[in-house]
Structure 1
Amino acid sequence: MRRFKRRSLLTVVPGVSLAAAFTFQAAAQAASGSNGDRVKVWLTDVSADQWVAKQRGISFQTGQTSNPLTINVDDGVQYQRVEGFGAAMTDSSAWLIDQLPASKRNQLMGKLFNPSTGIGLSLLRTPMGATDVNVGGNYSYDDMPPGEADPTLANFSIEHDVPYIIPALQQAQTLNPDIKIMANPWSPPGWMKTSDSMIGGTLKDEYYTTLADYFVKYIQAYSDAGIPISYVSPQNEPMGIPTWPGMFMNAYQETRLVEEIGRAFEANGISTKILAWDHNWDVPSYPETVFNDPVASQYAVGTGWHIYSGRPSHQTLTHNDYPHKEQFLTEATGGVWQADKQAGFEEALDTWVIGTMRNWGNGAMLWNIALDPDRGPLNSDTNGIGVMRGLVTIDPTNGLVSYNEDYYALAHASKFVQPGAHRIYSNSFGDGSIENVAFQNPDGSKALIVFNSGDTTETFSVADGTEYFEYTVGAGNALTFTWSGPTQHGSTPAATNVVDPTHDFTFEPASDPTTITYDPELLPLQNTVDNGSSFLTYSFPVGASIQAGTALDRSQWTVTASKHSDGNEAANAIDGDTGTRWSTGQRMKSGDWFQIDLGSSTSFSQIVLDNGEGDRSFDLIGRYQVYVSDDGVDWGSAIANGNGTMGKTAITLPPQTAQYVRIVNTEVRGSSAEFFFPWSIGEIDVYGSSSGSIAAPTAVSNGLQLQQWTSPDGAEVAIVYNGTGSRQSFAASPDGSYTYELPSGTSAMFTTKESSSFPAPAFGSMTPSEGIPGYKVTISGSDFGDKQGLGSVCFGSNHARIDSWSDTSITVYVPNGLPSGAVTVAVNGASGEPAGESSFTVTGLGTALPRTDWTATASDESPWPSDALDHMLDADIDTRYSSGTGQYNGMWMQVDMGQAQTFNKLVLDAGGSVGDYTRSADVFVSANGTDWTKVSTLTGDGEQAVQLTSFPTQAARYIKVVNTGSAGSWWSVAEFNVYN
């Protein structure tokens, strides 16, 4: 379950009813400022229950401001065109709206879609068939009995949508003629799939063309109903196979389907655009794999992104790699996992709206427009889970409509940014400060959205040309400013103290320029190598490659790994058969590693991890680091890091000579039990050493364009853009031994920082200094580097899983499998330089009791199947029990061990749900399940996701843990272990 940060200083406020909802038109009349107040202001203060409330207008001042918190707005720099903001008209949303009396329905639709009296939503997503949120069961537009098929689509019909979905879309279009609609299936008809069901499976080979025709028929039928479809994606969330309608589709399968849909659209004169992927931010190599195909790239105009893992900056990474592709946030939702309305509003506005649009987003769509008080209706044929929140809540029993925080977060943009606007330049101050995004509308007016993500009230300035104004905003509050009038560009700019770490590179032709954005936030998403005197970070778009040396003979190699699943041993990665593989068999975790013993000291400069083009292409490594060693014990600092890519991951290194190579995963991939993949390697190859070092280019030819810039922190940035019509190459090393090949229409980014520019890191202290495997340990010090980069923490030779990393503090988890006793903890800074070390004592636990025939009960249980009680007794750290509600005093869980046992320790391990530990609890034992004796107390001191409590040896059959505190987070236990 995705977790969101919460702001503890602010209180929870109740939902806003229809009667109390803010009426924009009336408020604008009541709160208008003087005629001279060019800047209009709208405020959201969640703690004061003010939602997009019109404030008194303010005036620009002529002069200069030296405020370090100055937002400089410049309409002379334009970025992407804005298509709009909106949400999804799901089956459940449309049905709930249809249940309202006509007057209430019209009032709600006006507040959603009318640009004048409502918030003017201008993007709508509508599913093509059943999802997890629809009133009845599974349905497609061509259902057949099990075992039967309809390859000619003779039975195709959109009759299901006629009663309430199509009328809702038609009314939205009437209220906002600028609206654009995106459609996509959660599943095609079951008979097209290997599962013969809308649940699970993948598309059969013989039905690619048929499914393309299915899209054609849908778009034609909707067009006949007066509803043009502007965008489609081939498949919702192709990465996962949920318990509701869904279909697995790897990037190569989607590439083929995009080609078929594109050809079918051409043949039928359909102008609907195709978006690739339509899933999470953190797998950009999926859509880039589609774009790398020359045929599919003609039809796939961009990418659809979801928010459930990754970050908005992945959009800019993909934009830079393929700058002519569009970017849309196509799904984001809040829900019961968010602590309060402040947390929900902050996530929606700060990350989904501001973050999306500052990272080249052409639009943002949230998930359900409307759900009922039980967060449904849910698909009656599946295990849909009622944990999500709509923009509004509709109670069909009484017609009450409540407007939720997501509605108002969208309003800060959709009410004031018109379709056809362009994002324009504004500098931002990042997380924990004043964040913003600026736009210029087609009529010339401007809109600036501001959010204070810090913990204190701030006074900031906004400068536009030769004028500026100042404003004060409280912590967690949001503002939208609008103004119009002549643009003030003169010789004396109002902003005098603006430092912007980002930079735009614009490439020819001038008639259709291409802009590439450098942002330090991209560096962790790119690849870094240690060249000795400098560190080079570079982009690697799918389709690009670096040629270096020839493959080494593997006959003398020995390979090992931190873990493997049955039948997927490490040796499978060097057996010459991509049909076999090494696999962790579990969700990837920071600290997982794969190691090669080359047999003797060997020179090399590239490692290639090959997963082929099949279903295992999803099993790519996330973030990684590479270490080398002469003895397999002393690993020193990492020499490279980067991100895995679909199919093949090529890791290019400065020339190395060593016997051992270790690749370490440095992040967790997958946000829930339904959507996760292990780390797999079908084949691994190491390539012989080139003579020089990889470096930023100093010159290019073959029609390539090169631009360079020095950042305020001294980084040297070089961008190569291939604006030619074909693949081109250039030297990526001074002696030409490394050759970079760049596809047409893509760019490569190189950032070089001198090693001497990094201060020497210093180890300070470590707390705690003893504990059990899984404990969180905090290491303080100085100059660790604010990004993990090449930095690492090792307990002996075991790489620790990193929880957080800042310049002065690192938190890690004690690796599993360590023997009892003292172990040396060594830290390397983000620049790869050793920071120092200390000693940690691993505490022994004794013998774990076998859990055969144990059963568990609890006061609260999440409706999500992956949160079932038996998961905390299944010896699988990647599954969990979870309460499904925030912690409260009296919440409990109980285990029946089947018979009396002797024990003296209890360990509750939250696994990947690191924030869901109990803050305080009492532990009781019983012989009969009726009479209980308290034996110990658990506390959340140190925020340990693994909690140990010891007590005098007991002989009992039952153990009960009773929560005595409270927390907004759920209570989750991945493993419940008892020791003697």
Structure 2
Amino acid sequence: MRSYGLGRRQFLATAVGVAAAWTQVSGNAIAAPQQKQASRDNSVRVWLTDVSADKWVAGQDDVLFKARKTANPLTIKVDDGVKYQKVEGFGAAMTDSSAWLIDKLSPAERTKLMKKLFDPSKGIGLSLLRSPMAATDFNASGNYSYDDMPAGQTDPTLSNFSIRHDLPYIVPALRQALSLNPSIKIMANPWSPPGWMKTSDSMIGGTLKSEYTSALADYFVKFIQAYGEAGVPISYISPQNEPMGTPTWPGMFLSAYQEAELIQEIGKAFEADGISTKILAWDHNWDVPSYPETIFSDPAASKYTAGTGWHIYSGNPNSQTLVHNDYPGKETFITEATGGVWQDSDRTAFSEALGTWIINGTRNWANGVMLWNIALDPDRGPLNSDTAGIPMLRGLLTIDPADGRVTYNVDYHALAHASRFVKPGARRIYSNTLGEGSIENVAFQNPDGSKVLIAHNSGSAAKTFSVADGTHSFDYTLDAGDAVTFTYSGPAQSGRTPAATKVSDPTHDFMFKSASGPVTVTYDPELLPYQNSIRTGNKLVTYSLPIGAAVQTTGRALSRGKWTAKASAQPDWGVAANAIDGDIDTRWSLGHGPTSGDWFQIDLGSPTSFNKLVFDTGVNNSFDYVTKYQIYVSDDGVDWGSAIASGSGGIGKIAVTLPTRTAQYIRIVSTAVSGFWWAIGDIEVYGSARGAGSIAAPAAVSNGLQLKTWTSKEGSQVTVVFNGTANGKSFKISADGSYTYMLPSGTSAMFTTKKLSSFPSPKFSELKPERGMPRSKFTIRGAGFGDAQGLGTVYFGSSYAEIDTWSDTSISAYVPAGLPAGKVTVSVKGTSGVDAGGSSFDVIDLGSALPRTGWTAKASDATQGDAPGNMLDGSSDTRYSSGTGQYDGLWIQVDMGQTQTFNRIVLDVGGSVSDYARSADVYVSTDGSDYTKVSSAADGQRVHLMSFPTQTARYIKVVNTENVARSWWSVAEFNVYN
């Protein structure tokens, strides 16, 4: 019914690429560089990866710091006077499959390989290991747990607990790694507890039965004790791998509320048994930061929770900083990341591993980064024989068990740029990044005082940049796609003019005191689109609101006696009225994953003053919330004007505080695509008890709270309040006292204020195309729209357009579904509320499609369950999918059963946002053998109309003409028109 799309399974639904080969000829993983005869204090050692030359982490001649200024606009300033998180290390997962493959090597080859992986001096010094607790999708055998029972039987005392499965080859591999690198820390977590603990009575699917919460806590205790006795200490655990996904291999759904309860039980059990292992929450993707924050907001669970584990398969690493800023005392780890066949080149694979996961992962507060399988075989397995795993992933190594051949893949080399040089216990130190498409970087200082700078050119051309440290600098040129690691001991000399004279950095750090030591909260304008924004008076105020915090008003909930509700979609079992009936157990549901433009609306019955609304997904519901939204108000339900507020949704209740408004209608509009559905169990609106107050950043705080301010070069005023006390505290955020911010212990609140007059006036220039069908894509060009959508809107008449991308000069969006044919005015309103202008658009009506009775379809490639016939069945919920990444020559074919006359076809990808052909040719035939090309398109989109001169034929073949390895090709509906 739903597509949750939050795990590796969805990430793997984009396909086809390659892996890189190990090309080192040296016996060591990294060749020693040549040394120049120069002052060691000014000498910088250099290790270069040149992807196109197949040269990986290769030692180069030293470069020298020189006592000189640099005015290069591409300057990286390094400052060890500013320190951030402690680094625990870099590594990967010793899965059952990886350990089994390593065990197949001869003793000599096994030792050689393990040294290359773990030896800090002769290898790349991996210092973090993830060790799954029992079966995953990567097992050399079938499913197993540490306490399996026959069907229908249970073992609540865990009398049958045993790690015997792991003793032949998993535990020995872990012990050998520890012997080579005693600083290794191991994280363990289950894909599933024993099936008898779950509602599915299986390791696949289901959720934890509440009566076995305590038994599962004891299961962790017994595992840690057994592994400890076997010589493998466990430093971290998480309660559940990917708890919001239920794949076809071992897995278990666990809501944030269930995980909070389980963490409490595990924490108490650890205390009782003297176990010091730390607990990480979540262990899933970047795009649900409200899940770990829900656990942190529960004091009873938070006391046992060290931090968050993140996966990389949806969202982006900015979420790590969002959660860090909200709860700056918690640790952050990337616990799973993997490359695979969807990556179209070594360069893409290397860029994602080093640039996104390692550089941007640690810049966004990661204490460590762990990739997935250490080793897989040439068939990308072994896969669990009891489940439907996906053979699409790449390990750090490829081991062929037939002949023992070992290939070192691109991910191994990406890790080497960090793990070889950044030692456990290092601290990230200050460096400004030059951003995506330029030189991205991160800097560290090791415990011995030496420094490491990792830089990656993510642009499309070579770039010469400068590195400045204190009074010294040097220049370096890096080709597109390549990377370099610099290590040095100097030079920073205080008391003299800094070498860097032109350093641009829009971020700012705020330092605060806490009971556990200093904490840092980082302002970054890239985080603003993920926060809450309101227009209040002549200012735009953007503020953070950690889960557990609240903005309180003096008003009370309004009576719902005269309310009515409607929505952009309301299935029979989830009508809009359910959200306003006062019963949390009934709810409105959109019935599908929301897109930008879906909406829910309340008619208050008469003009009413209000300053807050709260919408609740329901008790213990970790799904079905709007991920990003805007709020509109109207006097007549027709003219909605500009959005008055925007924000990011989250698990549970979403509270939206507004400047006091008087209106009859309120509309909540989704502004992002989500794999969840959107549901509201209950919604309340709060009336204004006094005045017409407005939210503002606090001018001063007391009662133990700490406040710091900063003004950016662009004029944004940033205020951060940190609560370092042991209890929740409140402070006023309006002059009349009508708005109060409640800040929990250990959290921060950030306010960014900008005058509306400082925004440039938006200007609409052109709209292309000027004609199209509903759900087709169009582009608006102009200026001053704003860097992100924020409070901005694109209207087709009075309908909201679904936004694809939004930048200051260009907006890509889709014609709203359901629009009648004819001329309609397209208009843009900017973040400041100013109308940018617009133009006319001609919505076309294709008429009725040809009936498809008796039609059949086939394709060159198809995936199981997504057969070609699905695109002819009249349901957009089923689809054809290629099961491979797009390539030149991939085709689909429809047999209409008899000769037909037609001149247009429409390929509709349904709910997918990426699996459409970027370019394609159309061929027709009367006999299925002799085909004639009738059309070409190089501007593919989700709903694509392809027109051509009228044809009379029986067969239609569409041939993909572009390689898009990251996306499958899907068609939900194939329609033909005359």
What TM-score, normalized by structure 2, do the two folds share? 0.95
Q: Give 1:934's aligned residue.
A: 932
Q: Give 2:564's aligned residue.
A: 558
- Mean Cα deviation higher: 687-696 or 956-965: 956-965
**In the alignment, is the contact (CA less than 8 A) between 1:89 and 1:368 conserved in 2?**
yes
Give, in whole Å, the separation in 2 of the partners of 1:158 and 1:425. 44
Q: Give 2:635's aligned residue.
A: 630
Equivalent residues in 2 for 1:498-897, closer than 5 Å: 498-508=503-513, 512-548=517-553, 549-614=555-620, 616-669=621-674, 676-689=675-688, 691=691, 692-849=693-850, 855-862=856-863, 867-873=866-872, 875=874, 877=876, 880-896=879-895
Give, in whole Å, the separation in 2 of the partners of 1:210 and 1:45. 52
Q: Give 1:474's aligned residue.
A: 479
**In the alignment, is the contact (CA less than 8 A) between 1:776 and 1:814 conserved in 2?**
yes
Shift of 1:851: 5.2
- Mean Cα deviation higher: 213-222 or 912-921: 912-921
Q: Given the superposition, is the C-alpha separation of residues 437 and 935 from structure 1 closer, same or farther in structure 2, using an over 3 Å criterion?
A: closer
Q: SS of the residue aligned with 1:968? A: coil
Give, in whole Å, the separation in 1 of the partners of 2:102 and 2:878. 37
Letter in 2 for 1:593: W
Give, in whole Å, the separation in 2 of the partners of 1:85 and 1:26. 16
Give, in whole Å, the separation in 1 of the partners of 2:455 and 2:521. 24
**In the alignment, is the contact (CA less than 8 A) between 2:32 and 2:59 conserved in 1?**
no
**In the alignment, is the contact (CA less than 8 A) between 2:763 and 2:785 conserved in 1?**
yes
Match of 2:283 among 278, 301, 313: 278
Shift of 1:869: 3.8
Q: Given the superposition, is the C-alpha separation of residues 322 and 114 from structure 1 closer, same or farther in structure 2, using an over 3 Å criterion?
A: same
Letter in 2 for 1:684: I
**In the alignment, is the contact (CA less than 8 A) between 1:924 and 1:932 conserved in 2?**
no
Shift of 1:24: 7.8
**In the alignment, is the contact (CA less than 8 A) between 1:252 and 1:613 conserved in 2?**
no
Q: Given the superposition, is the C-alpha separation of residues 21 and 322 from structure 1 closer, same or farther in structure 2, using an over 3 Å criterion?
A: same
Q: Given the superposition, is the C-alpha separation of residues 650 and 854 from structure 1 closer, same or farther in structure 2, using an over 3 Å criterion?
A: farther
**In the alignment, is the contact (CA less than 8 A) between 2:584 and 2:619 conserved in 1?**
no
Q: Give 2:6's aligned residue.
A: none
Shift of 1:478: 1.0
Q: Give 1:960's aligned residue.
A: 957
Give, in whole Å, the separation in 1 of the partners of 2:954 and 2:355. 50
Give, in whole Å, the separation in 2 of the partners of 1:313 and 1:922. 39
Gaps of 5+ in 1: 7-11, 670-675
Give, in whole Å, the separation in 2 of the partners of 1:329 and 1:434. 22
Letter in 1 for 2:917: T
Match of 2:24 among 21, 24, 37: 21
**In the alignment, is the contact (CA less than 8 A) between 2:18 and 2:344 conserved in 1?**
no
Match of 2:335 among 330, 333, 340: 330
Are 2:267 and 1:262 aligned?
yes
**In the alignment, is the contact (CA less than 8 A) between 1:22 and 1:51 conserved in 2?**
no
Give, in whole Å, the separation in 2 of the partners of 1:433 and 1:233. 36
Match of 1:944 among 941, 944, 952: 941
Give, in whole Å, the separation in 2 of the partners of 1:267 and 1:305. 28
Give, in whole Å, the separation in 1 of the partners of 2:101 and 2:372. 15
Shift of 1:176: 1.0
Q: SS of the residue aligned with 2:570? A: coil
Shift of 1:838: 1.1
Shift of 1:230: 0.5
Shift of 1:861: 2.2
Q: Given the superposition, is the C-alpha separation of residues 175 and 851 from structure 1 closer, same or farther in structure 2, using an over 3 Å criterion?
A: farther
Q: SS of the residue aligned with 1:617? A: coil
Give, in whole Å, the separation in 2 of the partners of 1:346 and 1:870. 38
Letter in 1 for 2:682: E
Q: Given the superposition, is the C-alpha separation of residues 252 and 376 from structure 1 closer, same or farther in structure 2, using an over 3 Å criterion?
A: same
Give, in whole Å, the separation in 1 of the partners of 2:936 and 2:380. 34
Shift of 1:111: 1.3
Q: Deviations over 1:880-905 (max 9, x none)?
A: 43323333343222235567766543
**In the alignment, is the contact (CA less than 8 A) between 1:94 and 1:165 conserved in 2?**
yes
Q: Given the superposition, is the C-alpha separation of residues 455 and 159 from structure 1 closer, same or farther in structure 2, using an over 3 Å criterion?
A: same
Give, in whole Å, the separation in 2 of the partners of 1:243 and 1:958. 37
Give, in whole Å, the separation in 2 of the partners of 1:778 and 1:488. 52
Letter in 2 for 1:937: S
Give, in whole Å, the separation in 2 of the partners of 1:59 and 1:486. 10
Q: SS of the residue aligned with 1:587? A: coil
Give, in whole Å, the separation in 2 of the partners of 1:140 and 1:538. 45
Q: Give 1:9's aligned residue.
A: none
Q: Given the superposition, is the C-alpha separation of residues 339 and 14 from structure 1 closer, same or farther in structure 2, using an over 3 Å criterion?
A: closer
Shift of 1:487: 4.0
Q: Given the superposition, is the C-alpha separation of residues 280 and 832 from structure 1 closer, same or farther in structure 2, using an over 3 Å criterion?
A: farther
Aligned length: 962
Match of 2:210 among 195, 205, 209: 205
Match of 2:974 among 956, 961, 977: 977
Shift of 1:871: 4.6
Q: Given the superposition, is the C-alpha separation of residues 855 and 580 from structure 1 closer, same or farther in structure 2, using an over 3 Å criterion?
A: farther
Q: SS of the residue aligned with 1:342? A: helix
Give, in whole Å, the separation in 1 of the partners of 2:898 and 2:261. 58
Q: SS of the residue aligned with 2:586? A: coil
Q: Given the superposition, is the C-alpha separation of residues 514 and 225 from structure 1 closer, same or farther in structure 2, using an over 3 Å criterion?
A: same
**In the alignment, is the contact (CA less than 8 A) between 1:640 and 1:790 conserved in 2?**
yes
Give, in whole Å, the separation in 2 of the partners of 1:136 and 1:899. 51
Q: Give 1:435's aligned residue.
A: 440
Give, in whole Å, the separation in 2 of the partners of 1:490 and 1:461. 21
Q: Give 1:315's aligned residue.
A: 320
Give, in whole Å, the separation in 2 of the partners of 1:247 and 1:853. 42
Q: SS of the residue aligned with 1:295? A: helix
Q: Given the superposition, is the C-alpha separation of residues 889 and 431 from structure 1 closer, same or farther in structure 2, using an over 3 Å criterion?
A: closer
Give, in whole Å, the separation in 2 of the partners of 1:600 and 1:955. 59
Q: Give 1:673's aligned residue.
A: none
Q: Deviations over 1:433-472 (max 9, x none)?
A: 2211110000110000111122222211111111111111
Q: Given the superposition, is the C-alpha separation of residues 561 and 494 from structure 1 closer, same or farther in structure 2, using an over 3 Å criterion?
A: same
**In the alignment, is the contact (CA less than 8 A) between 2:890 and 2:960 conserved in 1?**
yes
Shift of 1:934: 3.3
Letter in 2 for 1:143: D
- Mean Cα deviation higher: 130-139 or 868-877: 868-877
Q: SS of the residue aligned with 2:254? A: coil
Q: Give 1:672's aligned residue.
A: none
Shift of 1:422: 0.4
Q: SS of the residue aligned with 1:608? A: strand
- Mean Cα deviation higher: 139-148 or 918-927: 918-927
Q: Give 2:35's aligned residue.
A: 32
Give, in whole Å, the separation in 2 of the partners of 1:178 and 1:84. 9
- Mean Cα deviation higher: 573-582 or 948-957: 948-957
Letter in 2 for 1:978: N
What TM-score, normalized by structure 1, do the two folds share? 0.95
Q: Give 1:403's aligned residue.
A: 408
Q: Given the superposition, is the C-alpha separation of residues 511 and 363 from structure 1 closer, same or farther in structure 2, using an over 3 Å criterion?
A: closer
Q: Deviations over 1:580-625 (max 9, x none)?
A: 11112212212211111112211111111111332x3321111111
Q: SS of the residue aligned with 2:394? A: coil
Are 2:131 and 1:129 aligned?
no
Match of 1:451 among 427, 439, 456: 456
How many percent of aligned residue pairs carry the same amino acid?
A: 65
Q: SS of the residue aligned with 2:454? A: strand
Q: SS of the residue aligned with 1:78? A: strand
**In the alignment, is the contact (CA less than 8 A) between 2:796 and 2:825 conserved in 1?**
yes
Equivalent residues in 2 for 1:119-518, closer than 5 Å: 119-485=124-490, 487-508=492-513, 512-518=517-523
Give, in whole Å, the separation in 2 of the partners of 1:914 and 1:361. 29
Give, in whole Å, the separation in 1 of the partners of 2:502 and 2:282. 41
Q: Given the superposition, is the C-alpha separation of residues 878 and 285 from structure 1 closer, same or farther in structure 2, using an over 3 Å criterion?
A: farther
